[in-house]
Amino acid sequence: MRLHSLSNVKGATHRRKRVGNGEGNGHGKTCGRGGKGQTARSGGGIRIGFEGGQMPIFRRLPIRGFNNKNFRTEYESVNVAELAKLDDSVTEVNREALVKAGLVRSNDKPLKILGEGELSKALKITAEKFSASAKEKIEKAGGEAIVAGA
C-alpha cells in the first residue's frame, strides 16, 4: 500500500454546501442567516461576550487575586550545551559574545545561564543569574561563573 493508493471511507467527505442557490435546497433566499439585521450582513456580527448592551459577565464579576505579569523579570536564557558550541578561541563569555554568536538578542533583558547539556571547556562566564546546575557544570569544567552587577 502506498500513499497515493489510499482513499477515504465512503461518507467521510462531503460536498461544500452551496448556499443561495434556490429555494429547493433549504438554504436559498436568506441562506440560513435569518431576516435582516446586523448578523445577516456580510462582515456583520457581534463580538464575543457581547450581551446586547447588558453589562457583560466578565465585567459583572469581581476581580480577585494578584497577577505578577506586569512586575515579573523576564530573562534571556542560554543553556550550557549552547556555550559548548562556541569557538575554541572564546574564553570569556558575556552578553556581547553571545549576541555576536547569535545565541541571544541585543536587548535590555538580563541574562541567565541554565544547566541543560554538558560543558567540557573552561569558560569565564559573566551573566546576571545562573541556575545551580549550570554553575556546578561550569566550575566542574574548570571555568568561572561571575554574577554581573553583584
Indicate whether 84 belongs to any domain.
yes
Mean pLDDT rounded to a whole number for the chain: 92
CATH of the domain at 126: 3.100.10.10
Instruction: State the average pLDDT over residues 75-104.
Output: 91
What pLDDT digit, counting tens, does each position of 71-88 carry?
999 999 999 999 988 888
Asked if residue 122 is part of any domain, the answer here is yes
- Which pLDDT score is estimated for 150? 67
Range of the domain at 138: 76-147
In a domain, 136, yes or no: yes
pTM of the model: 0.59
Chain segment 128-150, per-residue pLDDT in tens: 999 999 999 999 999 999 998 76
How many domains does the chain divide into? 1
- For 13-56, how does the pLDDT look when each residue is reduced to its tens digit (9 = 90+)? 999 989 999 998 889 999 999 999 999 999 999 999 999 999 99
Determine the pLDDT at residue 89: 84
In percent, how much of the chain has pLDDT > 70?
99
Q: Assess contact for 97 and 87: CB atoms under 8 A.
A: no
